[in-house]
Amino acid sequence: MSAHTELVSRLRAAWLSGKTRPMEYRVAQLEALGRFLDEKKQDILDATALDMGKPPFEVELSEISICRSELNHTLNNLGTWMKDKHVEKNWATQLDSAFIRKDPYGVVLIIGPWNYPINLLLVPLIGAIAAGNCVVMKPSEISRNVERLVAETLPRYLDKDCFAVVTAGTEETTRLLENKFDYIFFTGTSLRNTQSQPSLQGRETGVELSRQAGCRSIGKYDHTGFMLLPPPSGSPSVGRIVMTAAAKHLTPVTLELGGKNPCYVSDTCNVQNVARRVAWGRFFNAGQTCVAPDYVLCSLEMQEKLLVALREAITEFYGPNPQESPDFARIVGDKHFQRVQALLRSGRVAIGGQTDAQTRYIAPTVLVDVQQDDPVMQEEIFGPILPILTVTSLDDAIAFINARERPLAIYVFSSCKKVVNQVLEKTSSGGFCANDTIMHMTLTSLPFGGIGTSIPGNKVLQGSPAHRRQGKTRALPAVGEILPRVLPALPSPTTPPTAAPEPLPRDCAWHLCPSADPPAFSGWAGGPSLVPMSGPPPPPPSPGVGPLARCRLIPPLEFRLPVPTSPGPCPVPGL
């Protein structure tokens, strides 16, 4: 018996014993996971810095804080999620009890990714623990330091009888997949050059605690599981390998295979605000984000304005030389660096373009004169490169989007609500954001998923009443619906923001760091470099709480994007 087979058998025996089912056990394991995040925070910051040069702020926001939010949400709702759901009875069963019980799948495999190695490994784990599963975790070997940290320290916090970490490369992962699991979560991108991917990878994100399969007879227990999603680094071909391995055991599997996320910018918008939000979403984590805007569609006139504004935004965020900025990450490995660097040959470099192979640095770059058949448009970029393609009209942009695989997210910027609605209604994607980018990923209240090669599956929080299909609630759309495409609670450029009880000044925002009061800063609140406003210095943090070095701000959205004073006419004919 191989080591992997023995491990899976041991976890299955623990699950069959019923050890993971009591609510008290699940809560204890979730609280232990919270202690891991608290006690190993500095180790996480150090490991991600070594692997990808991630700024502390980006790690705090995209790795640690999101995990904490998911953890708190799960602990606050676990009791409700675990309750039986009583259902309607017919004339012959009035004296009986009919209900749905949510049971765990059993032994779950989570294959983690390298781009968000903590977030996309632990968020699925939180869901798996909450649903009462045993779990095998396989962190990505590309993010070596995080892999070592997780493998050496996480098992000290969790029950070793029910949770295990496996470190493995391609061959070992292939052998691991030969074992029978009850659910597999894998994340991979749509990158075509799979030879540059040294291993299977995944960017699991998500918890699907509301899969309820066929309750056929009165009192029949139903199986609720969940999990899953991921993002970048792999390919549809690798996804097929995972699904083929799962099919041998009839194991359900959720994949996320990334995709190219379009961003349409209409002629009626605040160009400076668009540039800041697009630059924020594109260059966060050096562009290695599955939901980042992958390319921009706009008119030729808007392109010229946008180039000027993007140059200013990049300088505002990362200084005149981004290579010296502590707020800009690096490409994860040499093979990934070489792949992204080769994409710079597409079109013409209008901004950036500088590279340094020794430090795996690629400057925030904007390309123009890009053709549809250029290499940069044939695969998910997954790096700090933003191509701009010109279109003649909104209909032209919609046709361009619909002619390609359905993306994981679509972004649209316009001060005309009808333009936003037209893009929403006439396109199909996993996520949708109007007048912002990537921020929908921070909401635990929103499901996460895609269609086709972007993600055949999605995240749904346990207990969610939505997304039912043929009597099942497994994070799939109802018949005739598309997967969730949600407009987050963002201020419309044409509608003043809802007044807060005590609104902050325009140039102020709440501090991400846990200080007693929000200090005042000038400039755009999402920018990496912050300059204190005139007046007394900001108050010191609360005793025993230290702020992040060069901690940036995440303000309320209504203060991050000023409302244009003159929205301009709606460019859509007949609207």
Q: Which tokens sit at 346? A: 């597409």
Spatial separation of the C-alpha atoms in residues 393 and 179, rounded to whole Å: 52
Question: Collapsing DSSP states into helix, strand and coil, what is residue 356?
Answer: strand
Residue 93 has pLDDT above 80, yes or no: yes
Range with the poorest average pLDDT among 43-47, 185-189, 389-393, 451-455: 451-455
- Nearest alpha-carbon partner for 60 in 542, 548, 550, 553: 548
Of these residues, 134, 215, 269, 290, which one is catalytic? 290
pLDDT at 206: 29
Percent of the chain with pLDDT over 90: 55
Active-site residue flag, 60? no
pLDDT at 242: 85
Q: Identity (one letter) of the amino acid at 195?
A: Q
- Nearest alpha-carbon partner for 227 in 212, 196, 205: 205
pLDDT at 568: 52
Active-site residue flag, 301? no
For residues 285 and 116, the answer to whether their CB atoms sit within 8 Å is yes
**Residue position matching structure tokens 């041991």:** 10
Question: Collapsing DSSP states into helix, strand and coil, what is residue 255?
Answer: strand
For residues 367 and 347, the answer to whether their CB atoms sit within 8 Å is yes
Tens digit of each residue's pLDDT (9 = 90 or more) over 225-259: 332 223 333 456 677 788 888 899 999 988 766 67
Tens digit of each residue's pLDDT (9 = 90 or more) over 562-575: 334 444 555 454 44
- Nearest alpha-carbon partner for 49 in 63, 29, 35: 63
Tell the burial category of 243 from Cβ atoms under 10 Å away from its Cβ (0-12, 13-18, 19+): middle
Q: Which long-range contacts (CB under 8 A, 24 or more apart) does 509-512 make?
A: 509/553, 509/554, 509/555, 509/556, 509/559, 509/560, 510/553, 510/554, 510/555, 510/556, 511/538, 511/547, 511/551, 511/553, 512/57, 512/60, 512/61, 512/65, 512/548, 512/551, 512/552, 512/553, 512/554
- Nearest alpha-carbon partner for 328 in 46, 549, 512, 52: 52
pLDDT at 500: 40
For residues 514 and 550, the answer to whether their CB atoms sit within 8 Å is no
Question: Which contiguous run of DSSP H or E holds residue 298?
Answer: strand 293-298
pLDDT at 569: 55
Residue 385 has pLDDT above 80, yes or no: yes
Spatial separation of the C-alpha atoms in residues 361 and 381, rounded to whole Å: 15
Q: Which tokens sit at 431? A: 């996520």
Tens digit of each residue's pLDDT (9 = 90 or more) over 417-443: 999 999 999 999 888 999 999 988 888
Question: Which contiguous run of DSSP H or E holds residue 109?
Answer: strand 107-111
Q: Report the alpha-carbon angle 126-75-163, nearest 5.
A: 30
Residue 541, phi then psi, degrees to nearest 5: -65, 165
Residue 552 has pLDDT above 70, yes or no: no
Q: Identity (one letter) of the amino acid at 21?
A: R
For residues 484 and 464, the answer to whether their CB atoms sit within 8 Å is no
DSSP code per residue over 163-220: EEE----HHHHHHHTTS--SEEEEE----S-GGG--S--------B--------STT-
> 18-34 burial, b for 16+ CB within 10 Å, e for fewer?
eebeeeebbbebbebbb
Cα 536 from chain centroid (whole Å): 38
Mean pLDDT, the chain, integer: 75
- Nearest alpha-carbon partner for 70 in 113, 28, 104, 121: 121
Which of the two residues, 295 and 575, has the higher pLDDT score? 295
Residue 71 has pLDDT above 70, yes or no: yes
Compute and round to an integer the Cα radius of gyration of the chain: 24
Residue 40 has pLDDT above 60, yes or no: yes
Q: pTM of the full predicted structure?
A: 0.74
**Residue position matching structure tokens 């779950």:** 108
8-state DSSP, 378? T
Of these residues, 256, 316, 379, 558, which one is catalytic? 256
Alpha helices in 107-155 (DSSP H): 119-130, 144-153
- Nearest alpha-carbon partner for 206 in 190, 239, 183: 183
- Nearest alpha-carbon partner for 260 in 401, 376, 407, 387: 407
Residue 532 has pLDDT above 60, yes or no: no
CB atoms within 10 A of CB 396: 13
Residue 99 has pLDDT above 50, yes or no: yes
Spatial separation of the C-alpha atoms in residues 285 and 268, rounded to whole Å: 29
Residue 143 has pLDDT above 90, yes or no: yes
Cα 263 from chain centroid (whole Å): 17
CB atoms within 10 A of CB 41: 15
